[in-house]
A and B are shown apart, each in its own frame.
Chain A
Amino acid sequence: MKKIIFIIIFSLNFFNLNSDEKTKLHFEIYKNIRCLVCQGQSIADSNSEFAQTVKLVVKDKINEGKSEKEIYEFLISKYGEWIVYKPQFNKNNFLLWFFPYLALIFGAIIIYALIKKKENNKVN
C-alpha cells in the first residue's frame, strides 16, 4: 500500500515538474517573440489577436517536440527576422553581434591613450 502511495505521489510530482519546465519554456519563447502588431511589446506582454494566436502555435510546436530553435526558425520563415528579439547570427548581422565587443575594445584603447597622454603631460 505504502509503495503504491509513494509511486502515485512520485508520478504526480514528476508530471508537475515537467509541466513547470514546459511553462517556463513557453514563457522564455514568448518573451523573445515580438508582437508585430503592437508597439514594442513581446507576445508575452500582449493580448492582441496576433499574440494570442502565436502563443497557441508555440504551445502546439512544443507539444509536438519542436526545439526552441526550430520554433524561431519557423516563425522567421513566415515573418522575417524582425519577429525575434534576439537575432540569429549570420553574415548580414555579424556586425551587430561584434559591435559591443569592438566598442569595448576601442573604448579601452581610447581611455588608455588618454591616460597615457595625461601621464606624458605630467612628466613634461
Chain B
Amino acid sequence: MKKNLLKIIISVVAIFIIGTFYVSLKKTEIYDTKNLVGTNLDNFELNSLNKKLKINQDLVKKSQYTLINFWASWCAPCRAEHKYLINLKRNAKNLKLIGINFKDEKKNANKFLSEFGDPYHYSAADSKGKVSINFGVYGIPESILVNNDLKIIKKFIGPLNQDEYTSILNLTN
C-alpha cells in the first residue's frame, strides 16, 4: 500500500515537472499583445515633430480609426514597412496615421521623411522614448490600431507586411 502511494506521488511530481518544462519550452511568444488589445489607450501628450501642436488622445478621438506608428530614421526595418504606411495614407478612408518618432534626431527624422515620403497625418517626437512605454512598445517599428473610443484594436510588432496592410485596410474601410 505504502509502496503504491510512494510510486503515485513520485509519478505525479515527475509528470508535473516534465509537463511544466514541455509547456515552457513550447512557448516561443515572448512578444505578447494580449495585455493591450481590447484595453483603452492611456492619456498621452507629445510635441509635434515640426509644428507647434500637441499630439494627444484628443486627436485620436477625432478620427474613426488611428494607426499609431513608432519609427526612427536609424531603424532599418522602418524603411521596409514605409511603403505600406504610404499606401495606407492613400487608400484607407477612415484612418489617420500618427507617427511617433522614437529616440531620434529631428533633422535625421525630417531627412528620412523627405527622402521616403511622409505617410503621417501627424508626426510626434518621443525623444527619450518614455511615452512609448505607455503604449507597451518593445522596440521599433511597432504600430497600434485604435478606434475613436481609444480602444486598442490591434497591435503590430515589427515592420508591417502585406497581410497586415490588407488586414488594416479591411478593418478600417
Residues of A within 8 A of B (CB): 36-37, 49-50, 52-54, 56-57, 60, 75-80, 82, 99, 103, 106, 109-110, 113, 117
Contacts and interface: CB of A to CB of B under 8 A. Distances in A.
B62 interface: no
Nearest to A56: B130
B34 A78 contact: no
B134 A37 contact: no
A78 B134 contact: yes
Contacts of B9: 106, 109-110
Given A54-B133, A80-B32, A49 B6 contact: no
A117 B3 CA distance: 10
Nearest to A102: B13
Given A109-B9, A110-B6, A113-B6, A78 B129 contact: no
B35 A79 contact: yes
B75 to A, nearest CB: 10
Contact of A50 (B6, B36, B138): B138
B6 A53 contact: no
Size bracket of the B interface: 20 to 34
Given A50-B139, A110-B10, A82 B32 contact: yes
A120 to B, nearest CB: 10
Given A79-B136, A106-B9, A53 B128 contact: yes
Contacts of A78: 35-36, 133-136
A37 B133 contact: no
B30 interface: yes
B80 to A, nearest CB: 18
24 contacts: A36-B30, A36-B138, A37-B138, A50-B139, A53-B129, A53-B130, A53-B133, A54-B133, A56-B129, A56-B130, A57-B130, A57-B133, A75-B133, A76-B35, A78-B134, A78-B135, A79-B35, A80-B34, A103-B13, A106-B13, A109-B9, A110-B6, A110-B10, A113-B2
A109 B10 CA distance: 11
Nearest to B27: A82
A46 to B, nearest CB: 13
Contacts of B22: none
A49 B31 CA distance: 16
Contacts of A99: 16
